[in-house]
Amino acid sequence: MDDNEAIRVYRRVGHFEKGKWVLEETLKIYLDEFPESPREWDNVSRMVCFHGDYNLGDKHDYKSNDFSGWDELKEILIEDEGAHLIYPLSLYDHSGITIFIGEPNDSWDSGRVGFVYVTKKMIEKVWGAVTPETEALAEKCLRAEVKEYDQYIQGNVYGYVIEDADGEEIDSCWGYYGNDIIDVIVEEVGFTEKDGAVEIYSRW
């Protein structure tokens, strides 16, 4: 990959570690240009969304003229799909997009796009009997899945390449979601300060 595309670069110079010489290596972190949508995974929640410009959420067969408003769609999802925990989804669209649980908070740049929900069957499948405790676990999971999907549509997905002293790739991995994951990558692959590595470039 083009070095100019890296958003962070770390270098770990050659050194002795536990009596063994460890060669110089460079860690380069990039934006993942071809990330997989989290909605392609096995999720606890389901997202039913409508938008004129973006293909959001999960695949579904509903049409916008199937219902007269959001309240009617909510009832349809409860009756036909068995939605048990169900929350509105909104989209903020201004120099990029972000999806969130709740009502629109900006009359100009945000609007409702659908619902995210979990069924009783899914709660029973994953956690057992439906109780306040398992409902709380399901809601926590649902919110985490919305957050992860939001990172995907914002483009906050990363990968890394490790190169040897000659610039040859010796390891790589992709599909890390979220801006806070960069420090996790650095620690995971052993390029922190305590590992003898230094940051030599950062785009931000």
Q: Are 115 and 146 in contact (CB under 8 A)?
A: no
| Distance in angstroms (rounded) separating the CA atoms of residues 103 and 130 | 27
Q: Are residues 42 and 65 in the same domain?
A: yes
Q: Are residues 90 and 160 in the same domain?
A: no
Q: Which two tokens stand for residue 122?
A: 């899914």
Q: Are residues 147 and 164 in the same domain?
A: no
Task: Print the domain residue range for 165.
Answer: 3-35+156-202
* pLDDT tens-digit map of 96-113: 899 999 999 877 888 999
| Distance in angstroms (rounded) separating the CA atoms of residues 118 and 115 | 10
Q: Are residues 140 and 56 in the same domain?
A: yes
Q: Are residues 119 and 94 in the same domain?
A: yes
**pTM of this structure:** 0.88
Q: Are residues 47 and 98 in the same domain?
A: yes
* pLDDT for res 21: 79
Q: Are residues 121 and 65 in the same domain?
A: yes
Q: Are 99 and 146 in contact (CB under 8 A)?
A: yes
Biggest CA-to-CA distance, the chain: 72
Q: Are residues 190 and 98 in the same domain?
A: no
Element (H or E) spanning 163, and its range? strand 157-164
- Residue numbers of the chain with a pLDDT score lower than 70: 1-4
